[in-house]
Amino acid sequence: MQVFATLANTASTHSMVVATGAAEHAIPVVAKEQGRGSATSGGEFLCAALATCFCNDLFREAPAFDIEVIEVSVRVHSEFAGPGDPARHIGYAVEVTATGDERVIRDLVRHTDAVAEIHNTLRLGLPVLLESVDVRSVGLHT
């Protein structure tokens, strides 16, 4: 399964399109009020990716525990020292309302933490590679 995200920023547009395989959809991302780029930072998107992954995976894994998840809230926090520095700490808290025994619900949460793909990708420390650059020079010529 391949997953893609494409962000496009021009003088008049700002758009985010994501896809898993052939299933593609746009995500509304607000542009900065002043200057260029997204009003949402990459660190915020990282936290959102972790929260979304855990939430989706909790619902996916619940049937194997014979649990119906009614509500879930995931709050992810991260700490960055400054521009160019990697996160120093990432943590998260989960609130779950579900049918079934509290012990089994806690087992589901621990299991989901162990199988959450985005969490495990970060835990693995996978390198991020710049694979290509396409440059179009306009304007100034020396």
pLDDT at residue 95 is higher than 80: yes
**Alpha carbon distance 119, 104 (integer Å):** 22
Q: In this structure, are residues 71 and 105 in contact, taking their beta carbons and an 8 Å threshold? A: no
Structural tokens at position 65? 């525990």
Q: In this structure, are residues 31 and 39 in contact, taking their beta carbons and an 8 Å threshold? A: yes
pTM for this predicted structure: 0.89
What is the band of 142 on the pLDDT scale with cuts at 50, 70, 90?
Answer: low
What is the band of 141 on the pLDDT scale with cuts at 50, 70, 90?
Answer: low
**31-81 per-position pLDDT tens digit:** 888 888 899 999 999 999 999 999 999 999 999 999 999 999 999 999 999
**Three-state SS for 1?**
coil
Domains and CATH numbers, the chain: 1-30 (no CATH), 40-125 (3.30.300.20)
What is the band of 137 on the pLDDT scale with cuts at 50, 70, 90?
Answer: confident
